[in-house]
């Protein structure tokens, strides 16, 4: 819509049109010459991974995915203390605000301070002003059942508060670090709280091999046996799913998330994104802790499919659709309020990009501008739940300078404990 206007009342969009009358005393944001978009949604993030930036694990470089987990991530998350949990979250939220992302579905792990860690992260979301769907990564890798209690407690707490800003899923690492007993306890907790699970599936071939060797079953069938599939559950990656598993994900209405940059970084293979979409699976996009930049995730998703399939015709529209529509549909299952479109009644989550198009920007030409122009553009203003979080690229809700100074200290201390 050229020359569009949006009226925000409270946390919601009240009206959208070319000729709105501003009510008296309305605060006016002049977005002339800018692109106004719905706030972006990240369907899978690990805020705690912020302190991996610039860090190199000592010793031989990991040669495969299991070694990456053992030599980097399972040591780094063990080194997090409550202060590191807080500041790694702050810096990722700052980056989200700067890139126009207003809703994050996060997957957290800090086994040295499991209990209460989700409260710390929830506090940072409230201060920043973003919406968050949180969970703790339950796993038997350090202590059997670590995370079961934290998830259950936090799910009950968010449900009791009836607060749409912070919601919860039941977090699980991946089937290869979860015993039958822990999955059974998870299934019971999910049944009691009516919650879905948020779990990595078949990220690497090693996860499928482990499942077949230990349980004589493929991953999705194992999770389905425990009742953990379904429309409320979010399955991440699924790179090595076979046909029967994809069909079971589709039949059960389970949601999935693609994280192309992370998959490339870990060299775990390419998700069959187009096949999953053709099967009718609700497939969204995430960053898996690599960055907080969602337009970049969509751009890489389409490039990766073209490179893998050696077909320059595919995946452009699909990647944009995943970012703009599928992620909004996933958010609608994880939060009470609708978001993701600039229409009356939806949450006033808005990103305003300072963007001077160098070719005509007209209806029908937007997606190319988004992936190849807005990708590099400065976000001028970010609004979430009707509140201005950032204006003229200055974050108003958090003290960016103080947080970054403290985050440097926390990151160094975390690296020393590694
Ligand atoms: Zn992940």
Q: How far is the CA of 250 from the centre of ligand 1 (A)?
A: 21
How far apart (Å, rounded) are the C-alpha atoms in residues 51 and 54? 8
pLDDT single digits (tens) 223-237: 999 999 999 999 999
Q: How far is the CA of 107 from the centre of ligand 1 (A)?
A: 7
Q: How far is the CA of 137 from the centre of ligand 1 (A)?
A: 10
Q: How far is the CA of 108 from the centre of ligand 1 (A)?
A: 9
Q: How far is the CA of 403 from the centre of ligand 1 (A)?
A: 25
User: What pLDDT shows up at residue 207?
Assistant: 98
Question: For residue 394, what are the CA distances in angstroms to 104, 249, 363, 397, 416?
Answer: 20, 42, 30, 9, 32
pLDDT single digits (tens) 110-167: 999 999 999 999 999 999 999 999 999 999 999 999 999 999 999 999 999 988 999 9
Q: How far is the CA of 392 from the centre of ligand 1 (A)?
A: 32
| Domain at 5-38+340-391, CATH from 2.30.40.10, 3.40.50.2020, 3.90.1170.20, 2.60.40.10 | 2.30.40.10
pLDDT(415) > 90: yes
How far apart (Å, rounded) are the C-alpha atoms in residues 261 and 277? 19
Whether the model clears a pTM of 0.85, i.e. scores above it, the answer is yes
> How much of the chain exceeds pLDDT 90, in percent?
98
Q: How far is the CA of 195 from the centre of ligand 1 (A)?
A: 19
pLDDT(363) > 90: no
Q: How far is the CA of 170 from the centre of ligand 1 (A)?
A: 14
Q: How far is the CA of 260 from the centre of ligand 1 (A)?
A: 11
Look up tokens 């990722």; give the residue: 92
Backbone angles phi, psi at 373, to 5 degrees: -130, -60
Q: How far is the CA of 73 from the centre of ligand 1 (A)?
A: 11
> How much of the chain exceeds pLDDT 70, in percent?
100
C-alpha triplet 254, 247, 245: angle, nearest 5°: 85
Q: How far is the CA of 22 from the centre of ligand 1 (A)?
A: 43
Strand partners, 188: none
* CB of 206 closer than 8 Å to CB of 200: no
Q: In the CATH scheme, what is the code of domain 40-334?
A: 3.20.20.140
Assign 3-class secondary structure to the chain: CCCCEEEEECCEEEEEECCCCCCCCCCCCCCCCCEEEECEEEEEECHHHHHHCCCCCCCCCCCCHHHHHHHHHHHHCCCCCHHHHHHHHHHHHHHHHHCCEEEEEECECCHHHCCCHHHHHHHHHHHHCCEEEECECEECCCCCCECHHHHHHHHHHHHHHCCCCEEECEEEEEHHHCCHHHHHHHHHHHHHHCCCEEEEECCCHHHHHHHHHHHCCCHHHHHHHCCCCCCCCEEEECCCCCHHHHHHHHHHCCEEEECHHHHHHHCCCCCCHHHHHHCCCCEEECCCCCCCCHHHHHHHHHHHHHHHHCCCCCCHHHHHHHHHHHHHHHHHHHCCCCCCCCCCCCECCEEEEECCCCCCCCCCCHHHHHHHHHCCCEEEEEEECCEEEEECCEECCCCHHHHHHHHHHHHHHHHHHC
Q: How far is the CA of 236 from the centre of ligand 1 (A)?
A: 7
Q: How far is the CA of 300 from the centre of ligand 1 (A)?
A: 17
Q: How far is the CA of 355 from the centre of ligand 1 (A)?
A: 31
How far apart (Å, rounded) are the C-alpha atoms in residues 348 and 365? 24
User: What pLDDT shows up at residue 26?
Assistant: 94
Task: Of 123, 125, 95, 103, give the one whose Cα is nearest residue 38.
Answer: 103
C-alpha triplet 66, 71, 76: angle, nearest 5°: 115
Q: How far is the CA of 139 from the centre of ligand 1 (A)?
A: 13
How far apart (Å, rounded) are the C-alpha atoms in residues 342 and 33? 18
Q: How far is the CA of 344 from the centre of ligand 1 (A)?
A: 33
User: What pLDDT shows up at residue 75?
Assistant: 95
Backbone angles phi, psi at 311, to 5 degrees: -140, 110
How far apart (Å, rounded) are the C-alpha atoms in residues 390 and 60? 42
User: What pLDDT shows up at residue 288?
Assistant: 98
User: What pLDDT shows up at residue 373?
Assistant: 96
pLDDT single digits (tens) 229-266: 999 999 999 999 999 999 999 999 999 999 999 999 99
Q: How far is the CA of 29 from the centre of ligand 1 (A)?
A: 37
Q: Over the Cα atoms of the chain, what is R_g?
A: 21
Task: Calculate helix-pair angle for 148-161, 180-193, nearest 10 degrees.
Answer: 10
Average pLDDT over residues 280-284: 98
Band of residue 19 on the pLDDT scale cut at 50, 70, 90: confident
Query: Could you tell me the two tokens for 389?
Result: 């979080």
The structural domains of the chain, with segments of one domain joined by +, span: 5-38+340-391, 40-334
Query: Could you tell me the two tokens for 239?
Result: 């790179």
Strand partners, 197: 170
How far apart (Å, rounded) are the C-alpha atoms in residues 341 and 200? 28
pLDDT single digits (tens) 161-193: 988 999 999 999 999 999 999 999 999 999 999
Q: How far is the CA of 93 from the centre of ligand 1 (A)?
A: 17
pLDDT(16) > 90: yes
Look up tokens 């991946």; give the residue: 174
pLDDT single digits (tens) 35-60: 999 999 999 999 999 999 999 999 99
Q: How far is the CA of 289 from the centre of ligand 1 (A)?
A: 7
Q: How far is the CA of 381 from the centre of ligand 1 (A)?
A: 28
pLDDT(400) > 90: yes
- Chain-wide mean pLDDT for the chain? 97
Query: Could you tell me the two tokens for 238?
Result: 């699924």
Sign of CA dihedral 115, 116, 122, 124: negative
């Amino acid at each position: 819509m050229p020359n569009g206007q949006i009226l925000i009342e409270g946390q919601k969009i009240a009206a959208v049109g070319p000729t709105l009358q501003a009510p008296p005393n309305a605060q006016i944001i002049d977005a002339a010459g800018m692109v106004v978009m719905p706030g972006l949604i990240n369907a899978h993030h690990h805020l705690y991974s912020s302190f991996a930036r610039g860090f190199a694990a000592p010793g031989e470089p990991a040669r495969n995915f299991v070694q990456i987990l053992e030599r980097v991530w399972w040591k780094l998350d063990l080194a997090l203390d409550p202060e590191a949990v807080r500041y790694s979250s702050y810096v990722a939220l700052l980056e989200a605000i700067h890139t126009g992302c207003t809703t994050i579905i996060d997957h957290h792990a800090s086994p040295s301070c499991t209990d209460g860690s989700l409260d710390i992260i929830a506090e940072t979301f409230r201060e920043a002003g973003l919406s968050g769907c949180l969970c703790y990564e339950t796993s038997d890798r350090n202590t059997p059942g670590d995370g079961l209690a934290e998830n259950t407690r936090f799910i009950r707490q968010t449900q009791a508060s009836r607060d749409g800003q912070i919601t919860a899923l039941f977090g699980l690492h991946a089937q290869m670090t979860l015993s039958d007993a822990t999955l059974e306890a998870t299934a019971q907790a999910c049944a009691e709280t009516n919650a879905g699970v948020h779990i990595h599936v078949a990220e690497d071939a090693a996860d499928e091999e482990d499942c077949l060797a230990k349980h004589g079953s493929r991953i999705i069938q194992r999770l389905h046996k425990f009742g953990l599939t379904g429309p409320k559950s979010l399955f991440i990656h699924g790179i090595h799913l076979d046909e029967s598993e994809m069909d079971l994900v589709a039949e059960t209405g389970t949601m999935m998330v693609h994280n192309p940059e992370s998959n490339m970084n870990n060299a775990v293979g390419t998700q069959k994104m187009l096949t999953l979409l053709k099967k009718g699976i609700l497939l969204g996009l995430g960053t898996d802790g690599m960055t907080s930049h969602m337009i970049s995730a969509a751009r890489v998703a389409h490039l990766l499919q073209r490179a893998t399939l050696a077909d320059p015709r595919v995946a452009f529209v699909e990647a944009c659709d995943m970012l703009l529509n599928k992620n909004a549909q996933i958010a609608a299952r994880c939060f009470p309020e609708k978001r993701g479109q600039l229409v009356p009644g939806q949450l006033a989550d808005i990103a305003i990009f300072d963007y001077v198009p160098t070719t005509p920007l007209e209806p029908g030409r937007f997606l190319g501008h988004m992936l190849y122009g807005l990708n590099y553009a400065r976000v001028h203003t970010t609004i979430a739940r009707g509140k201005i979080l950032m204006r003229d690229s200055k974050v108003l809700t958090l003290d960016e300078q103080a947080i970054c100074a403290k985050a440097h200290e926390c990151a160094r201390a975390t690296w020393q404990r590694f």
